Amino acid sequence: MSKPIVIAVDGPAASGKGTLSRRLATQYGLRHLDTGLSYRAVAQALMAAGRPLDDEALATEAARAVDFSAFDAAALSAHAVGDAASRVSVFPPVRRVLVEKQRAFASQPPGAVLDGRDIGTVVCPHADVKLYVTASPAVRAGRRHREILRLGGQADYAAILADIERRDARDMERADSPLRPAADAHLLDTSQMSIEAAFLAACAIIDDALGGRN
């Protein structure tokens, strides 16, 4: 059987990498893992148990217990959980435990699309294709703002923008596995692109990279 195909998709919060990754997985017949959910699951377990988020040993224990086959995406999508996930993700032992599980997921045939912050740099440095999806903070905040309004919620654009900037700073400035493009990643700046245009651009990059494999 041929080696599993791995597509790494990294980028900052609200860059659209999740939506793009799901579509790419369908397009190429691969499994999909949103690695952000694994960090969110650690944060959610601590919050649900009323435990602090700044205790490395507790967070590591919670990471060991995370079951990758049973993410409750609805509970994990809460805004507060995302922010808490960014906080527990700075602990190196938490990252080691989750990265090992992420690699195990990626290694099963026929392969997978993994999206996160450190897939191309740390989790799957030998991925067949690496994409780094980004957009300006203002564009990302605008998209998130419209999405919340579309779902009938209430949101303050300035607060969302400040939140995105704070999360970017924490994810990019942490010592262990900071968010940054791998040296061999293809940059996809979607600031001026529709979801469809970003999908087509990603497919062109992937088809070109996999051309030698198929």
Residues that bind ligand DC (CB under 6 A): 13, 35-36, 39-40, 82, 85-86, 89, 116-118, 167, 171
Cα(67)–Cα(14) distance, integer angstroms:
24
Query: Measured from the CB atom, is 23 or 117 closer to ligand DC?
Result: 117
Lookup: tokens for 178: 């900071």
CB of 207 to ligand DC, least distance (A): 25
Query: Measured from the CB atom, is 138 or 172 closer to ligand DC?
Result: 172
CB of 15 to ligand DC, least distance (A): 9
Task: Please give the biggest Cα pair distance in the chain.
Answer: 51
Angle of the 137-150 helix axis to the 157-173 helix axis, nearest 10: 130
CB of 134 to ligand DC, least distance (A): 13
CB of 23 to ligand DC, least distance (A): 16
Query: Measured from the CB atom, is 176 or 189 closer to ligand DC?
Result: 176
In a 3-state reduction of DSSP, which class is residue 146? helix
Long-range contacts of 16-22 (CB under 8 A, 24+ apart): 16/133, 16/135, 16/143, 16/190, 16/195, 16/198, 17/115, 17/131, 17/133, 18/115, 19/195, 20/115, 20/131, 20/133, 20/195, 20/198, 20/199, 20/202, 21/113, 21/114, 21/115, 22/113
Cα(113)–Cα(88) distance, integer angstroms:
24
CB of 96 to ligand DC, least distance (A): 12
- Degrees, nearest 5: CA angle 66-72-74: 145
Query: Measured from the CB atom, is 78 or 203 closer to ligand DC?
Result: 78
CB of 98 to ligand DC, least distance (A): 8
Query: Measured from the CB atom, is 95 or 186 closer to ligand DC?
Result: 95
Query: Measured from the CB atom, is 92 or 204 closer to ligand DC?
Result: 92
